Amino acid sequence: MSTLSSLKAGTWNADASHSEVGFAARRALVSKIRGQFKDFAAVVTIAAPFEQSTVEATVQMGSIDTSGADRDTNLKRGADRDADLKSVNFLDVKNHPTMTFKSTRVTDSFLEGDLTIRGITKPVTFDLDFVGISADPFGGTRAGFEATTEIDSKDFDLKWTFGLEGAWVPLGEKVKIAMDLELVQA
């Protein structure tokens, strides 16, 4: 069985067309609202020795897309909800256009590092599931992994409420972030 540490030393870039960065938060503390970010980049540098490997990711917050979350007809839909999330009331994309992650420690089972949202940097730990390595039809090598963590929205000054007719529905303080990345060896 392959492990992340079995990757060949060098630079591995995320293939954005076969990767996803998403999130989920409880709505009204009962159901979930899910979304993803369409514009992101991630670079994994495998070092020798492996313990010196690094992971860096940058997400363009303006690329948020919650259109797949449109099951509840009482909530704002798609573009309207995304515009609310991009506003100063939530992600404040105008002043904080990116979310970044920079690892401080990489192992076969987790990533520790600094996550920055809204200009606030906090240490986080992602659970890591290495999917494997395979050759691609173009003579290259690809690798896949999934990384998940849960943050407290208050730690990043995220204000999660959605307006309904005459009421405000809060989103839960816990937000799950998931990266499902297919890497291409540079």
Domain ranges for the chain, please list them. Answer: 4-185
Name the CATH superfamily, with its identifier, for domain 4-185: Lipid/polyisoprenoid-binding, YceI-like (2.40.128.110)
pLDDT at 13: 97
| Phi, psi (degrees; rounded to nearest 5) at 44 | -110, 125
Find all residues with CB under 8 Å of 160, minimum gap 6, and list them: 25, 90, 153, 170, 171, 172, 173, 175
Identity (one letter) of the amino acid at 121? T
> Distance between CA 70 and CA 66 in Å, rounded?
8
Q: How many CB atoms lie within 10 A of CB 167?
A: 9
Give the pLDDT confidence of 110-132 residue by residue, as tens digits: 999 999 999 999 999 999 999 99
- pLDDT over 70 (residue 45): yes
